[in-house]
Amino acid sequence: MLIRRPADIPSQEITSEGQYQSRRAFLASLGALGLALTPGEQRAIAHGIAREAGVHADDDKPTPYETVTTYNNYYEFGTDKDEPAANAKALKLRPWKVRIDGEVAKPADYDLDDLVKPYKQEERIYRMRCVEAWSMVIPWLGFPLKDLIDRVQPTSRAKYVEFTTLNDPQQMPGVRRPVLPWPYTEGLRLDEARHPLTILATGIYGKPLLGQNGAPLRLVVPWKYGFKGGKSLVRIRFTEQMPKTTWAEVAPDEYGFFANVNPAVDHPRWSQARERRIGEFFKRPTLPFNGYADQVASLYAGMDLRRNF
C-alpha cells in the first residue's frame, strides 16, 4: 500500500517539516543502498510517499513555515505580501460564529468550536498555486468539507456553495478602502465542494492557523488558483444558482468562477504555463489542475475549460 490517495487515508500523523524531510531522506537512503529495489520500485516508493502526503512530485518539499506565514494575499489586511502578517496579529479569533444556510435541511449558526469538534484534524500536504504564477507547498491541518456538508444536509435544489469571509472594518484596515467589493466571497459547485481533496483548514504545520493564513477557518481547494481559498469564513450558503464571486465580479475577463489551475489558458496579462515555487530560482512548469488531474479532471468531463476558466 505504498500508493494511496489522501482520501483513502483515515488518519495521518502530524508531520513537522523536519520529520517529513527525514522520512524522505530515510527512504532515499534505503534506495541508495540498493536493498534489492529495482529503480521502478524506488520510484514507486518516492512517488508513494509524495502521494501519501497529498502531493505528486518527488521534489515537492513543504515551503518553510516562516515563508508561508509572511508572504500572503489577504487584501482585507493590505495588498502587499507582508501586510497581512503585520496587520492580522490582532484579529480576534474567539468567539467565532459560522452561519450555515440556504438550501440545507439543517441551517444553523455554529460556534466555531462546536462546528469543528466532530472532525479529526488530519494533515494534507498540498501544492498551492496563486493566479500570480507563484506557488508553495503547505502542510495543512483540516478536515474534508464533505463531512460538514453531509451533516447539514443540502436539499435537492442545492447546486453550489457560497463562502463569505469576515468583513470587519474595525479589525481589518484593508476593508476601509474600496479595493474590492467587501465582503470577499468565493464559490464552488456542490460536487467540487464534496470532493475528498477539498478541506476546511484550521492549521498549518501542526499549529493553529494564523490570521494571515485565514484563521480560524479557511477553504482549501488544491486544484484551483489560490484565490478560491476564502479566508476567515463566516458563512457557508448552499444555493441553486451559481453564486457571485469577488474576483469574477471585479474582473470577469481575468478570473472565472471555476479558476482551475490550467497552464493552457493564460491570464489575459500573463502566462500561466510556468510558476515560481517560492524559495526557488528557476521556474517550473505548471501542471493541469495543479497536479491533481487524475483525481479531479472527471469533475469537468465534457466542459470547455477555455470558456469555463
> Does 203 help bind ligand MTE (rule: CB under 6 A)?
no
What cell does 244 get?
457571485
The site string for Mo ion over 104-143 (x = CB under 5 A, - otherwise) reads: --------------------------xx------------
Is residue 213 within the footprint of ligand MTE (CB under 6 A)? yes
| Complex with ligand MTE: residue 54 or 214, whichever CB lies closer | 214
- Minimum CB separation from ligand MTE for residue 131, in Å? 6
d(CA 66, CA 72): 11
d(CA 246, CA 305): 20
Q: Extract the C-alpha cell encoding 57.
A: 512530485
Q: Which of 226, 237, 290, 295 binds ligand MTE (CB under 6 A)?
A: 226
- Are 255 and 131 within 8 A, CB to CB? yes
226 binds Mo ion (CB under 5 A): yes
> What is the distance in angstroms between the CA of the first residue and the CA of the last residue of the chain?
36
Classify strands 122-129 and 134-144 as parallel, antiparallel or unpaired: antiparallel
Which one of ligand MTE, Mo ion, none is in contact with 184 (Cβ closer than 5 to 8 A by kind)?
A: ligand MTE
Helices and strands, number each (H, E), in the chain:
9, 12
| Beta strand residue intervals within 19-133, DSSP E | 97-102, 108-111, 122-129
Would you mind telling me the total number of residues written for the chain in this entry?
Answer: 309
The distance of closest approach from Cβ of residue 116 to ligand MTE in the complex, given in angstroms and rounded to an integer, is 18
The entry of Mo ion, ligand MTE, none near residue 231 (CB within 5 to 8 angstroms by kind) is ligand MTE
Partnered with residue 162 across adjacent β-strands are 187, 237
- Asked if 165 interacts with ligand MTE (CB under 6 A), we say yes
In this chain, which of 54, 229, 243, 291 binds ligand MTE, going by CB under 6 A?
Answer: 229
- Judged by CB under 6 A, does residue 130 bind ligand MTE? yes
Select the span of 10-18, 42-50, 70-78, 274-282 touching ligand MTE (CB under 6 A): 70-78
In order of 3, 75, 175, 184, 235, the CA distances from 178 in angstroms are 48, 11, 7, 12, 22
Question: Which residues, in sequence order, are CB contacts of 79 under 8 Å at separation 6+?
Answer: 174, 179
Q: How far is the CB of 219 from Mo ion (least distance, A)?
A: 13
Give yes or no for residue 75 binding ligand MTE (CB under 6 A). Answer: yes
Q: Which stretch binds ligand MTE (CB under 6 A): 53-61, 67-75, 108-116, 255-263?
A: 67-75
18, three cell numbers:
523536519
User: Which residues sit at the interface with ligand MTE, rule CB under 6 A?
Assistant: 72-76, 130, 165, 184, 213-214, 226-227, 229-231
